[in-house]
Amino acid sequence: MQWKRSDCHREQAFFARRRACPELAEGIWASPATWPALSKRSAPKGRVLCDTITARLARFLIALLSLLSVPFLRAAETPEALLAAGRVDQAIETLEQQIRISPNAEAYNLLCRAHFELDDWDGGIPSCEKAVSLAPENALYHLWLGRIYGEKADRSNFLKATGLAGKVRSEFERAVELSPDNWEARTDLAEFYLEAPGIVGGGKDKARAQAESLTPLNPSAAHWVKARIAERDKDAAVAEQEFRAAITASQGGARAWLNLAGFYRHTNRFDDMEQALRSMESSRLDHPGAFVDGASMLFRAGRDYPLAIQLVRRYVASSETVEEAPVFKAHYLLGELLEKQGDRAAADEYRKALSMAHSFRPAQDALKRITR
């Protein structure tokens, strides 16, 4: 079988050649048994041949995509984008496929973070450990391993938590060592030093040292650490002063307003808490997840459910959802708020959460409760 070199040049790019003259691929996708039949077709031969091979090529590509289950048709849906959109089931499926085909540290780290979204610490720890073993000089991977160890420690008995605490400290310190300018790593390390007892390496002096190192990197975060130290010292006046200094340093950022609201909640100043959250709603949105965290704060405090519902709905409707505030958890929270108000639409929100994260137990239990 021949083609006119003037019509289909070998020098053309592959996809251009395939569109213009798909018989160039005939040696791969067309069966020799079909050649005589093709040659006997009535004119125009080129059109019949191209149409036949195009159909075969299309079927082959569809079968190949189905076999590999790689989302080429939706290239924008990277694992990172899926996590930011709260579609954790799809993220896990995609990452597990990637790891089967070509295992790498980044895929393991993202898989760990997917399990982190689900509060599945046991499921995520092996992936975070694998990421660190494959790329031991990557500060981000050490940071996430420390975070998931910390979450596991918070939910373990004293003896197990003590053992995990040492791992948390080691991972956070290693992350800071590898990336000294990473303000998030320094903030997490400072928080560990504040919360952990001295026997596992905690201490307020160490936290103060991190606050000083944070000052040139992120002044708002430095003030937050100082506020937390003042809270530990039971100095509410200094703590409030530092929380407000963090707002100024962040140019009125949502994260800092949220932190001030949290301080007011802990000190039972609920009216001030609500006012801070209203200020957060109209502030510079440096942390989109603040809307979900603020709504959760109102829900736990039993205050201003309409404001909480407004915050969550604004978040899930936005194009700025983030991994730190998974959308499926936002739908679950919205369901809780609606259920508190006797709104049957709560069931729809629980279903939306489960459509993104089918194994998320709180939404499973809530849906069973509300549909009895």
Q: Are 125 and 34 contained in the same domain?
A: no
Choice between 158 and 72, residue whose per-residue pLDDT is larger: 158
pLDDT one-digit tens code per residue, 97-125: 999 999 999 999 999 999 999 999 999 99
The predicted structure's pLDDT at residue 120: 97
Task: Give percent of the chain above pLDDT 90.
Answer: 79
Judge if 83 and 156 occupy the same domain.
yes
**What does the pLDDT read at residue 372?**
86
Residue 224 lies in a domain: no
Q: What is the domain-level CATH number for residue 154?
A: 1.25.40.10
147 within some domain? yes
Query: In this structure, is residue 167 part of a structural domain?
Result: yes
One domain for residues 101 and 44: no
pLDDT level of residue 41 (50, 70, 90 thresholds): very low
pLDDT at 171 over 80: yes
pLDDT value at 82 more than 90: yes
Q: Which of 178, 193, 220 is the last residue in one of the domains? A: 178
Domain-terminating residue out of 150, 178, 206: 178
Please give the pLDDT value at position 181: 98
pLDDT at 47 exceeding the cut of 70: no
Span 21-42, average pLDDT: 33
Q: Are residues 59 and 143 in the same domain?
A: no
Residues 29 and 122 in one domain: no
Asked if residue 102 and residue 173 are part of one domain, the reply reads: yes
In a domain? residue 24: yes
* One domain for residues 33 and 89: no
Domain boundary among the residues 178, 205, 222 is at: 178
Domain count for the chain, please give it: 2
Q: Does one domain contain both 99 and 164?
A: yes
Judgement on whether residues 169 and 151 belong to the same structural domain of the protein: yes
In a domain, 282, yes or no: no
Q: Specify the pLDDT at position 75.
A: 44
pLDDT tens digit sequence for 290-311: 999 999 999 999 999 999 999 9
For residue 191, is it within any domain?
no
Residue 229 lies in a domain: no
Q: Give yes or no for residue 73 having a pLDDT over 50.
A: no
Is there a single domain that holds both residue 82 and residue 62? no
Residue 112 maps to a domain: yes
Provide the residue range defining the domain that includes 105: 75-178
Write down the pLDDT at residue 57: 62
Euclidean distance between CA atoms 189 and 168, whole angstroms: 9
